[in-house]
Amino acid sequence: MKRTPFKPGGGLSRSGGLKGDGASKSRSSLRSSSPKGGSAKKEKLLSPWDQQREAAKRAALNALKRARRAADKAGVSLSEWEGEFIDSVSERVKTHGRAFADPEKGAPGQALSAMQGRKLKEITAKANGEEPKRRWGRKPKEP
């Protein structure tokens, strides 16, 4: 393979001039840190762990809101306990970021414990008019 000789000052530069002249420097000096031209405040970036925790918090709050809305829309009356459960869990998630204190009851990055998630699924299924799932392997009696 034959190489072409190096030509100083010419060659492959896009601007057509020498590298390092003022043309490339002026372009970067015109840009500001903000799209509107002013200096914008930079938000504190969250660690990936905190981002995951915030996402779990939002997901839990949205699931609680969806369950409440589905019950209201379908006209299904929730029991007193179910209404109180949704209210207290959503309040705890808003204030503390999660609804349980014991780390053994749920995954570290989750906002709801395993049992709270199960109960929320049961409430959502009731609001959607679905038949409750069997528990503990019991079979329904056949006539």
Which tens digit of pLDDT belongs to each residue from 16-71? Answer: 555 555 554 554 455 555 566 555 565 678 888 888 888 999 999 999 999 999 99
- Greater confidence, 134 or 78? 78
Q: How far apart are CA 86 and CA 66, in angstroms?
A: 11
- Give me 38's structure tokens: 């002013």
| 14 pLDDT higher than 80 | no
pLDDT of residue 87: 92
Query: pLDDT tier at 10 (50, 70, 90 boundaries)?
Result: low
Lowest pLDDT segment from 2-16, 52-66, 90-104: 2-16
Q: How far apart are CA 64 and CA 94, in angstroms?
A: 12
